[in-house]
Structure 1
Amino acid sequence: MKIMVIDGNSILNRAFYGVRQLSNHEGLPTNAIYGFLATFFKLQDDEKPDRTIVCFDVREKTFRHLKFDTYKATRKGMPDELAAQLPVVKEVLDAMGIVRCEQAGYEADDLIGTISRKADENGDACVVVTGDRDSLQLIGGGTTVRLVSSKMGQTIYDVFDTEKFREKYGFDPLRLIDLKALMGDSSDNIPGVPGIGEKTAMTLLHEFGTLDGVYENLEDEKIKKGAREKLRAGEQSARDSYWLATIDRSVPMELDVANLPDEFIDEESLYQLLTRLEFKNFIKKLGLSAEAAAPVLPEVRAEEITTAAAAFALLDQLTNEERCFGIVAETLGAVCLLSGETAAVLVEDSFATEDWETILTRLFDGSISLVLHDAKPIMVALIEYGIEKRMVEFDTCLAAYLLDPTQSGYDLHRVALAYLNTELPALNLASDDAFSPLGGRDKTVAALAAHANAVRGIYEESAAKLEELDMHQLYFEIELPLMHVLAEMEARGCAVAPNQLRAFGEQLDTRITELVALIYEDAGGEFNINSPKQLGELLFEKLGLPAQKKTKTGYSTNVDVLEKLTDAHPIIPRILEYRTLTKLKSTYVDGLLKVISPRDGRIHSHFQQTVTATGRLSSTDPNLQNIPVRTELGRELRRMFVACDEEHILVDADYSQIELRVLAHISRDAAMIEAFRQGQDIHAATAAKVYHVPIEDVTAQMRSSCKAVNFGIVYGISDFSLAQDIGVTRKQAGEFIRSYLATYPGVANYMDTIKASAKEKGYVETLFGRRRALPELQSKNFNIRSFGERVAMNTPIQGTAADIIKIAMVRVHDRLERENLQSRMILQVHDELILEAPISEQEYAMQLLREEMEAAFQMDAPLLAEAKAGHSWYDAK
C-alpha cells in the first residue's frame, strides 16, 4: 500500500501566503483553502496514493514546550484570516473521507514521523508532503519526502529519497538532527551552538559524522580554535537542541496505520461545502452535482402554457401578485415566470406572432412586478423588438454586484452557487434544438423552472442584504434606473464614418511601412519587431544598449524600458512610434470597422455595469474608455464618431476635475475647497501654495509637478513613483509630498483616517453607500497590505465620482424624456457624456446637459461641467 501523509498546517500556511486574497460572498477568506485543495488534488493526481492522511498541530502545548518554554516562542500567532479557514479545511477533508490526525501534546511532525515508521514496518510505501525541511530526517526505508516550496511565483515539489538527500547534503537524512543541533533553527527558536553557522556545522558533520563524533574529537586539529571554544561552551545547548529537533516517531496513537479506513466521499456534505466556498472548478473536478445535495430551495412545478387564453389569464393573475420571478431568453423566444409553487413556461413557437408580441408587451409594461437576473440584454432586445415600455422591478445580478463588487463575474450559475449553494442545470436557450421535442424540450422547461427558482432565492437574500447595508438609495435610485438608461444607449448606438476610418487606416499603414524600413536599416537586417525576445536580443546584445531588466524569457522591452532609452539610439523612438501606430490600426481602426452594425451602420458598444470594483462603467466591443487621447493621432480617432446626419450634432460635456473636487469635499480641506470655489486652476493654485509664490508666477514645470501629486496622492503615490514622473531625485520627491500634505492638511488627515477606519471596519464606502470590502488590510504581507491602503484611500474618491456621473446620466435621460426632446444620450466615457441632438435643439441640449451634470450632487467644491457641440466627437471636445 502507498500512504501519503500531508503536513496540514505547513501546506495551508504556504497556500495562505502564496494565493492572492479571496473570499466568498459571506466575507469568509478562502485563499488558503483554495491553495490547499489545489495542492491536495495535484498530489493525488501525481502520487495516486491508496490512502491519504493529513496531520495538524493542535493549540495545546507539546512535550517540547513543557520542557523548554522558549521553544517556538518567537513565532507570530496565526493571522485571524488564516485561523478562520483552518476549521473549514478540516470539514472539507472529513467530507472527502480523508483521515485527519491531530493529538494533544504532539506536533504534526511527530504524528507524521510515527505514521511513516509504522507504514515502513508494515511494508508500505509512505510519501510525506510538507514545506518544512525538518521532515527530511524521516527519509529512509519506504519513506520519501515531497518538499513543497515556491520559486519565482511557482510551486515546486522536490522529491527526496536517501540518495538525493545524500547528494545534496553529503550525509544521511537522520544526521539533519545533528546539523540543527549545531547550527540551530531561528524559526523554531532552537538555539544550537551560539556562533556556529550552517557552513561550519556542515564541515564538522562531513568530518566527524555525528554530534557525538564532533564532541568526541573536540581536540582534533581540524577544528579551529574559535569553533572549539564555541562548541565547548555550547555543548549543553547543542544537546538540548538535538532533543528539540528530533521528531518523536513513537507517539501513542489510536490510528491503526495497517488498517486505514476506506476513503468514502460524502457527496452531499462536500457539495454543500464547496458551493459555499464558491469553488466551482473543484466541484466539476470531483464530478459533484446538485443531485448529491439536499435541496435548499423549495421545489417548484414546471408547467408549459401553450394557448393565448391561458397566457393572458396568467398575466392577469400576475398583476395581482407581489412579484414574479422570471427567466427571459435574450432572443425573446421563451419566458419562464415563477409565482408561488408553479413556474409557467411560454415558448414563442406555441403562439401566433401578434399574441406573442402582446404577451411580451404586457409582461414588461410595469403592471407586473418582475424580477430578473441580468436584465439589460433583455431590455436591449425588447427595444430592438419595438416594445416601448420596459419595466423591471429588481435585477438580482445588480444586487449581487453591489454586495460584492470584486468578483470576476455575476452570471446566474455563479451567483446561485454563492448565495444558494446550488449548481444550476445547463440551459442554452439560443440552441436550435432547445425546444425541439427530439432535443429535450421537457428538460429545457425543467431547467427554466430551476433557474427562475434560483432568481427567487437570490432575490430573497440579496434584497434583505441591501436594506441591511443601507444600499436602498444606491440600488433603486442609481443602479437600477441606470440599467434602463444603458440599455437604451446600447440599442441606440453611435454613428461612425467608415470611409474616414478606412482612409485613416491607410494613412497609418503608409507610416508603419516607412517605420519598418527605418527600423530594419537601424538594426542592420530584418527581424520580428513584434517579438520581445528578438527585439531584446537586437537592442541589448547586438546594439549593446544598456539593459534595464531581464525576465525569465529574455530582456524586458516594455514601454517603460524603451522610454528611458529614447536618446540612446534612433531605433528606440521609431519602435515606440511603430507600436503606437500598429495598436491604433489593429485595435481601433480595424476593430471599429468590425463592430459596425450591418443593420443600421452604427456602433453599439456594450456598457458594463458590473465589472469594476469602484463602480466605474466600462465598455466592450468597442472599449470606448481606452480610445487614446494623449497623442494627436490618437485624438484623430474621435473624428470618426459622428452625428447621424447633417441635421444632427453631437453635444459633449465632461466634469472638470471631478475626483479632486470629491477629494476636497470628503477631506473638507479648506484651502482646496476655496481654490475650487474661486474657480482657480487647481494645479496652479496648488503650485502657488507649495512653492510659496504668487499664482501668476507659477511656471509650467511647477504646475506639472503639482498636477502629478494632485492626481497621484489618493492613489498612495510614493516618493519613488513621483520622482520618476516629474524627473527629480527620490529625496526631493519625498520633500515635495510632505510639503504638499502640509499645504492641504485636510487631505493628509483624510488619508490617515480612511486607512484606520477601513482597517477597523474591514471596508470603505462612497458618499452614496457603495461598499468595498478590504481583507487585504489585515494581511501580514507588506505588499498586499499596501495595496489595500491605496484602495482604501482611492475607492471613496473614485467611487463617489462614479456614482455622481451615474446620477447625472439618469437625470439627463429622464429630463430629455420628460420634456419630449429628440436629443438622446449615446456615449459615456470616463467623466464625459455625449448626446446626439437635432441642430434645432443644440443650445438647449448644451444647457440641459450642463445643468443636470452640475446638479447631480451638491458639494462644498461645486461640480463644474463644460458643454460643447460639433458634428464629430473631435469637434465637440
Structure 2
Amino acid sequence: MKIMVIDGNSILNRAFYGVRLLTNHEGLYTNAIYGFLSTFFKLQDEECPDRTIVCFDVREKTFRHKKFDSYKATRKGMPDELAVQLPVMKDVLDKLGVTCCEQAGYEADDLIGTISRVLNEHGDECVIVTGDRDSLQLVGGGTTVRLVTTKMGQTTTTRYDEALFQEEYGFAPIHLIDLKALMGDSSDNISGVPGIGQKTAMNLLLRFGSLDAIYENLDSPDIKKGVRDKLEAGAQSARDSFWLATIDRNAPLPIDPTALSEEFIDEEGLYALLTRLEFKSFIKRLGLTVDDVPEAPESTLTIQTMDQFEAGLAQIKSCNDTVYLYMTARQDAFCLLQGSQAFVYVENDFSSDEWFELLRRLFSGAVQLVAHDIKESYVQLMARCIWPEGVVFDTCLGAYLLNPAEGAYDLQRVTLSYLNLELPDAAFEKEDAFSPLGGREEAVRLLARWTEAVKLVHDEIAKRLDEQPALKKLYFDLELPLMTVLADMQHIGCKADPQLLQEFGEQLDERIESLTERIYADAGGTFNINSPKQLGEILFERLGLPVQKKTKSGYSTSAEVLEAIVGYHPIVGEVLEYRQLTKLKSTYVDGLLKVIDPKDGRIHSHFQQTVTATGRLSSTDPNLQNIPVRTELGRELRRMFIAEDEQHVLIDADYSQIELRVLAHIAKDEAMLEAFRHGQDIHAATASKVYGVPPEEVTSQMRSSCKAVNFGIVYGISDFALAGDIGVTRKQAREFIQSYLATYPGVDRYMQESKAFAKEHGYVETLFGRRRYLPELSSKSFAIRSFGERVAMNTPIQGTAADIIKIAMLRVWRRLREEGYRSKLILQVHDELILEAPLEEQEVVTKLLTEEMEGAIKMDAPLIAEAHTGHDWYTAKG
C-alpha cells in the first residue's frame, strides 16, 4: 500500500502565512484551512495514496523539552488567528475520513518517523508531506519526502528520494542529523557547535562522513586549528544537538499504520462544515450536494395564460402579504412566492405584448415585493419603458449593509453566509433552460427554490437590521431608494463624442510613436518596451542604472522603481510617459469607444452600490470613477463627454474638501472649524498655524506640506511616507506631524478615540450608522493590526462623506422629478455630481443642485458645493 503522511502543523502553518486572512460570516478565520485543503487535494490527485495520515503536535512538553528547557524556546506561540482554525481543521479531516494522529510527549516529526519505519518494515510505501527539512533524514527504505516550499508567493513541492538527496547534499539522508549537530538550527534553538557554520559543517561531513568520525579524527591535518578548537570546545553541544535533531522512530503510536480502515467521507457532515466555512469550490470539487436544502415551496404553479395571471395577482393582492420575487438575468422568467405557494412565469408562454403587460402590472407598485439584487432588472425595465415600483426590500443591499467587507453578495453567497445553506447552481439561467428539451421542469423547480431562499434570507437580514436601528434607517431612507436613482442614471447614460475620442487617440498614437523612437535611441536598439524583463535588462545591464529591487523574473521596473531613478537617465522619464500614454490610449480611448451604445451614442456605466467597504459608489463597464484627473492630458478625456446637443448643457458640482469638513465636524476641533466657518483656505490656514507665520507669509511649499498632512493624517500617514511626499528627513516629518497634532488637538483626540472604540466594539461607524467591522485589530501581527487602526481612523470620515454624496444624489434626483424638470442626473464621480439640463433650465437647476448638495446634512463645518456649466465635462468641471 501507499500511505501519505502529512505534517499537519507544518502545512497548516505554511498555509496560514501563505494565504491572506479570510473569515466566514461568523468571523471565524479560515485562511489556513483553505490553504491546507488546497495543498491536500492537489497532493491527493498527484500521489493517489491508498490511505492518508495527518500528524499533529500536542500542546505540552515533549521528551526533548523535559531534558532541555531551551529547546524551541525562542519560537513564538501560535497566533490566535491560526489557533482557532486548528480544531476545525481536524474536524474537516475527520469528516473526510482521514486519520489524524497525535501523542502527548512527542512531536509530529516523531510520529511521522515511527509511521514511516513501521510501513517500510511492512513493505508499504510512505510519502511524507512537510515543510520541515528535518524530515529529510527519514528518506530511504521505501520513504520519500515531498518538501513544500514557498518562494515569491509561489508554493511548490520537491520530491526527495535517496538519489536527489545525495545529489544535493553529497551524503546519505541519515547524516542530515550530523549536519544539524554541527551547524545548529536557530529556529529550534539547537546550538550546534558555536562558530561552525553550514559551509564548514558540510566540508567536514563530506571529508569524514559522520559526527563520530569527525571527533575520532580531530588530529587530522585536514582540520584547521581554528576549527579543531571550536570542535573541542563544542563537543558536548554537538552531542546534545545530535540528540535533539534525531527524530525518534520508536514513538508509541495510538494507531496501527499498517491496518488503517478504509476512508469514507461523511458527506452530510462534510457538506455542512464546508458550507459553514463557505468553501464552495471544495464542495463542488467533492461533488457534495444536499437535495432538500433549502426546501422548495410546498406548491409550485406555472402560470401560462393572462387569465391565470389575473387570478394569481388577485389572490396575491387579497392576502395583502409581502411577495418574494426572483427574476432571471435575461428577464425571460420569474417566480413569485406568497406563503407556501410559488407562481412561475415564463416568457415563452406569452406573446410579447402580454409579457410587457405582465411586467408592467407586476412593477406597478400594487404589490409589495422583496427581491435580491434587483437593480439590473430595473435598468432593463426602464429600457422597456416600464417605471418599476413596489420593491420594498432588496436582500442584496441588506447583506451589504450588515457586512460591507464580504466582497460578493450573489444569492448563493448570501444564503451560505446567513443560513449556512448551499443553493443549487442557477441552471435556469441557461438560454434554453425553459424549453421542452432544456429541462423546463427542473428550471421551474430551481427558480422556485431560489425564490424560497430570498424569503429565508430576507427574514434573517430583516431581523438583524431590526437589532441596529441606525443601520435600518440608513437602509430604508438611503440605500434602498438610491438603488432606483442608480438604475435611472445607468439607463440614461452620458453622451460621448466618438470622433473626438478617435482624434484624441490619433494624437496619442503620434506621441507614443515619437516617444518609442526616443526610447530606442537612448537604449541603443529596439526592444519590447512593455516587457519588464527586457526593459530591466536595458536599464540595469546595458545602461548600468542603479538597481532598486529584484523580482523572481529579473529586475523590478515598477513605477515606484522608475521614479526613484528618473534623474539618472532621460530614458526613465520617457518610459514613464510612454506608459501613461499607452494606458490612456488602450484603457480609455479604445476602451470607451467600445462601450458607446450605437443606438443612442451614450455610455451606460454600471453603478455599483455593494462594492466598497466604506460605502462609496463605484462603476464598471466602464469605470468612470477612474477617469484620470492628475495630468492635463488625462483631464483632456473629459472633453469627450458632452451634452446631448446644442440645446443642452452639463452642470457639474463638486464638494469642496468634504472629507476635511467631516473630520473637523466629527473631531470637534475648534481651530479647524474656525477656518472652515470663515471660508479660509484650510491648507494655508493650517500652514499658518503649524509654521507660526501670518497667513500672508505662507509659501506654496508650506501650503503643499500641510495639504499632504491634512489629507494623510486620518489615513495614519507615517513619518516615512510624509518624508517622501514632501521631501524632508524622517525626523523632520515626525516633528511636522507632532506640530500638526498640537495645532489640531481635536484631530489627535479623535484618532485615539476612534482606535479605542474600534478595539472595544470591533467596528467603527459613520455619522449615519454605517458600520465596518475590523477583525484586524485583534491580530497579533503588527502589520495587520496597524492596517486595522488606519481603517478605524479613516472609515468614519470617508464613509460619512460617501453617505453625504448619496444623500445629495437622492435629494437632487427627487426634486428634479417632483418639480417636473427635464434635467437628469447622469453621473457621480467621488464627490462630484453631473447633470444634463436643457439650456432653459440651466440657471434654476444649477441653483437646485448646489442647494441640495449643501443641504444634505448640517455640520459645524458647513458644506460648500461649487457648480459650473459647459457643453462638455471638461468645461463644466471649471
Aligned to 2:400: 401
| Secondary structure, counterpart of 2:873 in structure 1 | coil
Aligned to 2:33: 33
In structure 2, give the amino acid aligned to 1:393.
Answer: V
Contact 1:300 1:453 in 2 (8 A): no
In structure 1, give the amino acid aligned to 2:614.
Answer: T
CA distance in 2, matches of 1:596, 1:567: 41
Aligned to 1:346: 345
State the Cα deviation string for residues 409-446 of structure 1 (Å, max 9, x = none): 22223323333344433335564422211222112111
Contact 2:401 2:770 in 1 (8 A): yes
State the Cα deviation string for residues 68-89 of structure 1 (Å, max 9, x = none): 4444343332222111111111
Aligned to 2:356: 357
The answer to whether residue 403 in structure 2 is matched with residue 424 in structure 1 is no
CA distance in 2, matches of 1:514, 1:214: 69
The answer to whether residue 718 in structure 2 is matched with residue 734 in structure 1 is no
The answer to whether residue 743 in structure 2 is matched with residue 743 in structure 1 is yes
When normalised by structure 2's length, the TM-score is 0.94
Aligned to 1:458: 457
State the Cα deviation string for residues 569-627 of structure 1 (Å, max 9, x = none): 44444443333333223222222222121222221111011111221111112211111
Change (3 A) 1:558 1:139: closer
Q: What is the Cα deviation at residue 202 of structure 1?
A: 4.5
Aligned to 1:13: 13
Q: Which moved more, 1:603-612 or 1:53-62?
A: 53-62
Q: Which moved more, 1:68-77 or 1:255-264?
A: 68-77
Q: What is the Cα deviation at residue 221 of structure 1?
A: 6.7
Aligned to 2:551: 551
The answer to whether residue 536 in structure 2 is matched with residue 531 in structure 1 is no
Aligned to 1:335: 334
Q: What is the Cα deviation at residue 204 of structure 1?
A: 5.0
Identical residues among aligned pairs (%): 68
In structure 2, give the amino acid aligned to 1:322.
Answer: D
CA distance in 2, matches of 1:634, 1:821: 33
Structure 2, unaligned runs of 5 or more: none
In structure 2, give the amino acid aligned to 1:680.
Answer: Q
CA distance in 2, matches of 1:272, 1:304: 32
The answer to whether residue 869 in structure 2 is matched with residue 875 in structure 1 is no
Change (3 A) 1:745 1:343: same
CA distance in 2, matches of 1:119, 1:82: 31
Q: What is the Cα deviation at residue 235 of structure 1?
A: 5.1
Q: What is the Cα deviation at residue 220 of structure 1?
A: 6.1
Contact 1:766 1:799 in 2 (8 A): yes
Aligned to 1:590: 590
Aligned to 1:58: 58
CA distance in 2, matches of 1:417, 1:406: 16
Contact 1:493 1:826 in 2 (8 A): yes
The answer to whether residue 704 in structure 2 is matched with residue 704 in structure 1 is yes
The answer to whether residue 311 in structure 2 is matched with residue 302 in structure 1 is no
Q: How does 1:192-203 map to 2 (within 5 A)?
A: 192-193=192-193, 197-199=197-199, 201-202=201-202
Contact 2:812 2:849 in 1 (8 A): yes
Q: How does 1:475-554 map to 2 (within 5 A)?
A: 475-554=475-554
In structure 2, give the amino acid aligned to 1:21.
Answer: L
In structure 2, give the amino acid aligned to 1:340.
Answer: G
CA distance in 2, matches of 1:458, 1:436: 29
CA distance in 2, matches of 1:66, 1:139: 28
Q: Which moved more, 1:696-705 or 1:281-290?
A: 281-290
Contact 2:80 2:779 in 1 (8 A): no
Change (3 A) 1:212 1:734: same
CA distance in 1, matches of 2:546, 2:74: 45
Q: Which moved more, 1:680-689 or 1:245-254?
A: 245-254
Q: How many residues in Structure 1 have an aligned counterpart in Structure 2?
A: 875
Q: What is the Cα deviation at residue 6 of structure 1?
A: 0.4
Change (3 A) 1:110 1:654: same
CA distance in 2, matches of 1:196, 1:517: 57
CA distance in 1, matches of 2:223, 2:96: 55
Q: What is the Cα deviation at residue 196 of structure 1?
A: 5.2
Contact 1:302 1:344 in 2 (8 A): yes
CA distance in 2, matches of 1:577, 1:62: 62
The answer to whether residue 849 in structure 2 is matched with residue 855 in structure 1 is no
In structure 2, give the amino acid aligned to 1:310.
Answer: Q
Change (3 A) 1:220 1:685: same
Aligned to 1:318: 316
CA distance in 2, matches of 1:224, 1:649: 89
| Secondary structure, counterpart of 1:258 in structure 2 | coil
CA distance in 1, matches of 2:502, 2:590: 8
Change (3 A) 1:52 1:830: same
Change (3 A) 1:813 1:565: same
Aligned to 1:717: 717
Provide the alpha-carbon RMSD of the alignment. 2.6
Change (3 A) 1:215 1:584: closer
| Secondary structure, counterpart of 2:875 in structure 1 | coil
Aligned to 1:84: 84
| Secondary structure, counterpart of 1:336 in structure 2 | strand
State the Cα deviation string for residues 119-176 of structure 1 (Å, max 9, x = none): 0110111111112222222222111222222212111323222333344444433333
Contact 1:655 1:831 in 2 (8 A): yes
Q: Which moved more, 1:696-705 or 1:668-677?
A: 668-677
Contact 2:296 2:449 in 1 (8 A): no
CA distance in 2, matches of 1:756, 1:109: 43
In structure 1, give the amino acid aligned to 2:403.
Answer: D
In structure 1, give the amino acid aligned to 2:338.
Answer: S
In structure 2, give the amino acid aligned to 1:42.
Answer: K
In structure 2, give the amino acid aligned to 1:3.
Answer: I
Structure 1, unaligned runs of 5 or more: none
Contact 2:428 2:444 in 1 (8 A): no
CA distance in 2, matches of 1:643, 1:151: 53
Aligned to 1:443: 442
Contact 1:624 1:829 in 2 (8 A): yes
CA distance in 2, matches of 1:510, 1:5: 62
Contact 1:23 1:31 in 2 (8 A): yes
Contact 1:379 1:390 in 2 (8 A): no
Q: How does 1:229-268 map to 2 (within 5 A)?
A: 236-268=236-268
CA distance in 2, matches of 1:353, 1:462: 36
Contact 1:296 1:420 in 2 (8 A): no
Change (3 A) 1:159 1:329: closer
State the Cα deviation string for residues 22-61 of structure 1 (Å, max 9, x = none): 1112211111011101111121122221211001122243
Q: Which moved more, 1:650-659 or 1:169-178?
A: 169-178
Change (3 A) 1:544 1:170: closer
Aligned to 2:620: 620
| Secondary structure, counterpart of 1:804 in structure 2 | helix
